[in-house]
Amino acid sequence: MLFRYAYVFMVYALIVSLLWIIGIESIYAHVTPFYALLDPVFSAALAWSSLRWHLLSVAVFVLALCALALVLRRTHGFKDGFGKRGVAWMLVGLIAFGFAFSGAVAMIRGGPPAISAAYERHDKEYIDDIGRGLTIHGLFRDYVKMHPFLSMHAKVHPPGPIVLLWLISYPIGSREPLPLSVATMFIGALAVIPLYLWVRDMTDRRVALIACVLYTLVPSITLFTATSADILFTPITLTALLCFWRAIERGSVVYALAGGVCYAVMSLTSFSLIGIGAFFGFVGLWRLTQKAYRFKVIKTAVLMGAAFLAVHVAVRLWTGFDVIECFRVCKEQFDLDQVNLDEASPRFPAWSWRFLNPACWFYFLGIPVSLLFLWRLRRPEPGSKALFVTFALTLLVLDLLYLARGEGERSALYIVPFVAIPAAHLLSEIMEKTRSRGPLLATAGFLAFQIWLTETCLNTFW
């Protein structure tokens, strides 16, 4: 498997290198199809002041890999002898690893200060907007009025991200970049819990654990956990998916209402999570073809819709916040930003990014994960074919409707589960047939190498 991963990686790198040599760029000095800036730090790595951070990231991964190998050996590849307590400890270990490894990788570029580098850019990040309106109520109430004075990222988002950071600042007792960055990393790492529960419900425990291992090593997750507030959205997104799935499968009123509330919260944090709504629709259409699920689908749709509207009505009555008007001004700002960027450095037309963004996803989801995903789609098991087709359709919708040009690295955060789950499903099958834990360990090792190489070559701090 390592040979296949390496072969595809080299072909991909060759194509990107050729585009770079002939001068095809997206904007400024960004390497098409990436938005990241080419900024190698290999030479600086020779000095101990820099080398120690490279060694730290390697040490964190090697220790985790050894622990994973030991667990795989004792549980026969996550198959036997793994009770609820064992699963709980496994998830705790993955949360700790996701937190530590993302921080260690970020420190490759400048040591501990690199962890808070993104939040230090006060004119661009939500952190500069904490406290606007004096209260959270005031923030919602006056958000549209304050729009011209918000930070760059806040101008194209609803107030949710600011509210999340504001709420986090209370328990940690600080609004400074470093404490908020560390708290963001921890909350982002917690996403493995709803991911495990959701995948376990859809497939089985073994696939769920493999999916969680892959998730913590997906390049976009590792690289942006320590450098982007967007990672805060992932636990909410996965919880919404979990609640929706349980509502459909169990006909649960509680999970349907919870799913609607989660989706409403998502809509107050970002306008670019439309792919999740598409997934809800595709699963609903699929289940409507099965008589046993028809009533559950209708009940789930009604209850989720009611809960979604109830949250927005409550916010409107409480603060007067108009989400439609907020979307309008954010969309105007986004369009203006695109025009300004085109004037600064002409870029490819919007339609070309329908191909370039998926090319970026292929890399930042991890070469091994992307290959396993495509392999699973090509040769699905009969029982999983319909589910994975809904995953593929969800990716297609997000690609067609995603507006940003050249932001594939960060948009990949929203689609990780839809790629990692089929990859984990196939990896579980390969491990079963070969009776070996080698495929998972090799996949993990290659993903870690790709993360390290990416961080040392590209500046992804944004």
**pLDDT value at residue 206:** 92
Q: Going by DSSP bridges, is the β-strand pair 37-38/458-459 parallel, antiparallel, or unpaired?
A: antiparallel
Q: Which residues contact 51 (CB under 8 A, 6 or more apart)?
A: 45
Find the mean pLDDT for residues 407-420: 87
Find the mean pLDDT for residues 321-350: 82
* 317: confidence class by pLDDT, cuts 50, 70, 90: very high
Q: Is the pLDDT of residue 443 over 80?
A: yes
Q: Is the pLDDT of residue 311 over 90?
A: yes
**pLDDT value at residue 25:** 67
Is 215 inside any structural domain?
Answer: yes
**pLDDT value at residue 31:** 82
Find the mean pLDDT for residues 374-398: 89
Find the mean pLDDT for residues 301-317: 95
CB atoms inside a 10 Å sphere around CB 96: 15
CB 127 within 8 A of CB 180: yes
**Distance between CA atoms of residues 51 and 353, nearest Å:** 37
CB 376 within 8 A of CB 423: yes
Is 248 inside any structural domain?
Answer: no
Average pLDDT, the chain: 88
Task: Read off the amino acid at residue 422.
Answer: P
Enter the pTM of the model: 0.93
Q: Is the peptide bond before 33 cis (omega within 30 degrees of 0)?
A: yes
Torsion of CA 406, 409, 411, 416, to 10 degrees: 150
Of 250, 259, 262, which is closest to residue 201 (Cα–Cα)? 250
**pLDDT value at residue 75:** 85
* 369: confidence class by pLDDT, cuts 50, 70, 90: very high
What is the per-residue pLDDT across 186-237, written as a single tens digit (0 to 9) for each? 999 999 999 999 999 998 999 999 999 999 999 999 998 887 888 888 999 9
**pLDDT value at residue 412:** 83
* 273: confidence class by pLDDT, cuts 50, 70, 90: confident
CB 156 within 8 A of CB 333: yes
Q: Is the pLDDT of residue 148 over 60?
A: yes
Task: Read off the amino acid at residue 22.
Answer: I
Of 364, 456, 452, 457, which is closest to residue 407 (Cα–Cα)? 364
**pLDDT value at residue 46:** 58
**pLDDT value at residue 125:** 78
Find the mean pLDDT for residues 354-379: 92
User: Residue 290 forms beta bridges with which residues?
Assistant: none
Number of domains in the chain: 1
* 48: confidence class by pLDDT, cuts 50, 70, 90: low
In the chain, count of helices (H) and strands (E)? 21, 2
Q: How far is CA 391 from CA 26, 39, 111, 248, in A?
A: 28, 34, 38, 16
* 348: confidence class by pLDDT, cuts 50, 70, 90: confident
What is the per-residue pLDDT across 56-90, written as a single tens digit (0 to 9) for each? 999 999 999 999 999 988 888 787 767 788 899 99
Of 316, 227, 244, which is closest to residue 284 (Cα–Cα)? 244
Q: Is the pLDDT of residue 373 over 90?
A: yes
Of 389, 387, 386, 371, which is closest to residue 426 (Cα–Cα)? 371
Task: Read off the amino acid at residue 393.
Answer: L
Q: Is the pLDDT of residue 45 over 60?
A: no
What is the per-residue pLDDT across 103-144, written as a single tens digit (0 to 9) for each? 999 999 888 888 888 888 767 778 888 888 889 999 999 999
Token pair for 107: 């420190």
**pLDDT value at residue 227:** 79
**Distance between CA atoms of residues 398 and 390, nearest Å:** 12
**pLDDT value at residue 44:** 53
Is 275 inside any structural domain?
Answer: no
User: Residue 458 forms beta bridges with which residues?
Assistant: 38
Name the DSSP class of 31: B
Find the mean pLDDT for residues 260-271: 90
Longest CA–CA separation in the chain, Å = 66
Range of the domain at 353: 2-236+322-388+405-459
Find the mean pLDDT for residues 162-182: 90
